[in-house]
Amino acid sequence: MLFHNVALQSWGYRLPDEIVTSAEIETRLARLYERLRLPEGRLELLTGIRERRFWPPGTLPSEISIRSGEATIRAAGIDRREIGALFHGSVCRDHLEPATACRVHHGLGLSPSCLLLDVSNACLGLLNGILLAANMIELGQIRAALVVGTESARPLVETTIAALNRDTSLTRETIKPAVASLTIGSGSCALLLTDCRWYRGGSPLLGGVAHARTEHHQLCHSGSDEAGPGMMPLMETDSELLMREGIATGLETFVALRQELGWNAEGIDKTVCHQVGATHRKLLLEQLGLPLANDFATFETLGNTGSVALPISMALAAESGHLSYGDKVALMGIGSGINCIMLGLDWQHVANERGADMFAFPEVAHAISIPKK
């Protein structure tokens, strides 16, 4: 997929106040650790994740998505009546029905003619939303689209802790499928895409590719289909095999991205990947032949925030000055299924003076706009 008229215009993100460290999680699993003689610090050592964040109990994803979306719209200075599509792409949602996008649409005061729907594809939901929006803009069907999502980690992490403490038959081997669930964090991000023919400025979205290896769909899966603040989800993940096959899928997708955009590895200035953990990041970049120094990671302090992990990391990379004007940026998402989406951006944003202050002021609805030419 190649795009000639699509730009990333602005984005906004939010993070919760409450920080939950890996050490705190291990404290709550103290009896299990003692019985299995697991060393303290094992969770952080295995994943590289020191902490993650939780929304207050009972928080609905739509509540936070509205705030992220509002910050994004205001940052662009766009008339919200011009937004022709809204895609809510997070794993977490308010209810099984109606679509969470309905409440977000209402809360943002978007036009009745705005197409709206939820997009569900594990950690790739927002990237899928970007592709859907970009295609509609490229075809001239709409002038602007908002892609947003909010992930809530508390239900999964707390349900996993309770299940591990309850099952006294667990061994060092049988707890492995639950480890990935303890790395999940909360966050929210929204992105506004616009038609360059109508709204000048922004960072051009050059194109993207998608690749699926669904023979591995069983490597990471949840239980029953649940939604809302009262859900009690459980996940089973074959982390080792998922990492191996996910990286192999990523390599195939990266080759396709380079062919589609006419890029070579040396011409890619910066990368932002899905945030799984330290080992995954190192092995992926090694396989792709990309330097670690050109990548930007957030998993150490945010954990794996699912579908919003890559967009939030991109936002922080911009705020910190990691992304520079004129950079060719590869956005590389990998999700269970296994699905992979990679996008190419021509970065046209100049970093603001604030820097990456999200850790000091986590409840500020951060937003970045891209100056009009």
Q: What is the set of domains in the chain, with CATH numbers?
A: 6-16+57-153+184-369 (3.40.47.10)
pLDDT of residue 369: 45
Positions marked active-site: 97, 123
Average confidence (pLDDT) over 218-225: 65
d(CA 290, CA 317): 17
- Write down the pTM of the prediction: 0.89
Cis peptide before 338 (omega within 30 of 0): yes
pLDDT band at 373 (very low <50, low <70, confident <90, very high): very low
Q: How many whole angstroms separate alpha carbon 201 and alpha carbon 194?
A: 9
**Tell me: the pLDDT tens digits for 272-317?**
999 988 888 888 898 889 999 999 999 999 999 999 999 999 999 9
Average pLDDT of every residue of the chain: 87
Of 277, 89, 317, whose CA–CA distance to 189 is shortest? 89
Percent of the chain beyond pLDDT 90?
A: 65
* Nearest-angstrom CA–CA distance, 271 and 327: 10
Q: d(Cα 82, Cα 92) in Å, to the nearest integer?
A: 27
Q: What is the pLDDT of residue 214?
A: 79
The CA-CA-CA angle for residues 159, 160, 164, to 5°, reads 120
- Average pLDDT of the residues in 14-41: 94
> What's the mean pLDDT in 224-231?
63
Average pLDDT over residues 201-229: 78
Whether 184 contacts 304, CB under 8 Å:
yes
Lowest mean pLDDT among 47-56, 62-71, 123-132, 346-355: 346-355
Q: How confident is the model at residue 238, as a pLDDT?
A: 62
What pLDDT is recorded for position 228? 65
What is the spatial distance between Cα 317 and Cα 60, in angstroms, rounded to a whole number? 27
pLDDT at 328 over 50: yes
CB 345 within 8 A of CB 173: no
What's residue 270's pLDDT? Answer: 94
Q: pLDDT band at residue 229, thresholds of 50, 70 and 90?
A: low
Q: What whole-number distance in Å separates Cα of residue 32 and Cα of residue 170?
A: 9
Q: In this predicted structure, what is the pLDDT of residue 230?
A: 62
For residue 250, name the pLDDT band (cuts at 50, 70, 90): confident
Q: Is the pLDDT of residue 143 over 80?
A: yes
Per-residue pLDDT for 47 more than 50? yes
Q: Which residue has the higher pLDDT, 352 or 164?
A: 164
Residue 28 has pLDDT above 60, yes or no: yes
Percent of the residues in the chain that have a pLDDT greater than 70, as a whole number: 87
Q: What is the pLDDT of residue 243?
A: 73
Residue 361 — very low, low, confident or very high, per pLDDT cuts 50/70/90? very low
Strands 18-21 and 83-88: unpaired
